[in-house]
Amino acid sequence: MVIFSGLLTGFGRLIGAVATMTVAWATILLFGRIPQSKQTLLSFITLGSLAWIAALAGVLVPTVGSFLLAAVPRAPFLEDLWLRWIMLGLAAFLPLAIGFATVTFITPEDRPVGRARFTRLLLGYPYAAVYALTIISLATWGLVRKICSLQHGWDSVHIPMIVKAGRYDAVVTDLESALHEADLAVVRKPASGWFEIPPRLLAAVGGKAVKELIPTELVAFETDGLQIVVYPSDVALLGRKELVSQARAAVARRLTSADAYLTSAKESEQIEDRLAEIARKPTVVAADFAPIDELLTMLVAPYDEWETLYRLRLQVEQERRLPDSTTPADGS
C-alpha cells in the first residue's frame, strides 16, 4: 500500500491537476460521474495506462527497454531477464486489468455478463491507449507552452475544469462574454488541430453516444500579448503577466455560473449543482446555504476539492445573497 500510495503521489506530480481533470472528463463521458470512493481506482487506471505504454515501448524498442530496466530500482537478486518477462507481461495483460477496473464504474444492475463482460475486458486496450495518449499529448503541449513562456517572459496559467456533457459551446460563449466585459479585446478562432486528437480518439472508442458529446471544434481566444485555449477540461492562458492576471480573474469568476465543474468526484459535483441552483434563484437568503454547509461538513474529499467547493459557496453567497427578511433595513 505504501508503494502504491507513493506511485499515486508521483503520478499526481507528474501530470498535474490539468491532466487529472482531463482523465476525469474522459471517464465521465465513457462511464458517467465517478464517486469519490472510486477516485483512487481512476488514478490506478490512468497510472496503469502510462505504465502500459512504457512497457509496450520497452518490448518493441530494445533501447527503450534497456533504459527502463536501468532506471527501475530493484533488489540485487532480480536479474534483467526476470524484469524483461515482467515488462512483457505488463505489455500483454495490463490493459485487461484496466478493462476489468472500468467495469466497476458501471452500476451493478447494468454490468455486462458472459461474453459481453469479456468484450468489456478487451476494451481495456483501446481505453489504455486513449488515456495514455491524452496524457502524453497534454504533457507535450504543457512543455511547449512552458518553453514559449520562458522565451517571452510570459506567464502560463491553467484553470482546470470539466465542461458538462454537450455544453462546450455554451461555456465558450460564456467565457468570451466574460473576457469582453473585462475589457480584453480577444478574437475567437479555431484552436490548433493538435488539441483535436484526444477528443477524436475518445469518440472512436466511446462510440456514437460519446461522439455526440465531443465538441465539433475547439476554440481559442487571442489578442496582442495573450493566448487562451478552451479545452473541455482546462482553460489555458499564456501571455503577458498583467493580461493573464486580468483574464484569469474574468474566467474564474464566470466559471462559477458556467456549465462546467471545477471538481471531479460525483459527490463534489452534486454540491456544485446545488450551488448553481441557489445562484439562479431570484431571492437568496442565509437559510439557502445551510444544506450546503452540512454537506461540506460531511464531505469526504481531498482538501483541494473541498477548498474549491467552499470558495464557490462563498462566491455565490457574496454575489447573490440578499439581507435576511428578519433584518431591519436600517440595521436597528
Question: Taking residues 292-308, what's their average pLDDT?
Answer: 91
Q: Is residue 330 part of a domain?
A: no
User: Is residue 332 domain-resident?
Assistant: no
166 with 121, same domain: the answer is no
In a domain, residue 327? The reply is no
Percent of the chain with pLDDT over 70: 89
pLDDT at 80: 75
As a dihedral over the C-alpha atoms of residue 261, residue 263, residue 265, residue 271, rounded to 10 degrees, the angle is -70
- Boundaries of domain holding 232: 136-261
In a domain, 46, yes or no: yes
- Extended strands (E) in 181-300: 187-190, 219-223, 226-231, 234-239, 260-261
Does residue 122 form part of some domain? yes
Range 229-257 average pLDDT = 92
pLDDT digits (tens, 9 = 90+) for 192-228: 877 778 888 888 888 887 888 888 889 999 999 999 9
| pLDDT at residue 85 is higher than 50 | yes
Residue 62: strand, helix, or coil:
helix
Do both 207 and 288 map to the same domain? Answer: no
Judge whether 186 lies within some domain. Answer: yes
> Among the three residues 97, 131, 165, which one is the final residue of a domain in this structure?
131
pLDDT at residue 267, as a whole number: 92
Is residue 95 scored above 90 in pLDDT? yes
Is 82 inside a domain boundary? yes
Dihedrals φ, ψ of 113, to 5°? -130, 160
**Whether the predicted pLDDT of 5 surpasses 60:** no
Closest CA to 168 of 235, 229, 218: 218
Q: How many CA atoms lie within 13 A of 184 on its CB side?
A: 30
Query: Does 328 fall in a domain?
Result: no
Q: Check pLDDT > 50 for residue 332.
A: no
Query: Is residue 74 located within the same domain as residue 192?
Result: no
For the chain, the straight-line distance linking the first and the last C-alpha, in angstroms and rounded, comes to 60
Domain boundary among 131, 158, 175: 131
Q: What is the rounded average pLDDT of the residues 117-128?
A: 88
Shared-domain flag, residues 34 and 107: yes
Domain boundary among 131, 153, 179: 131
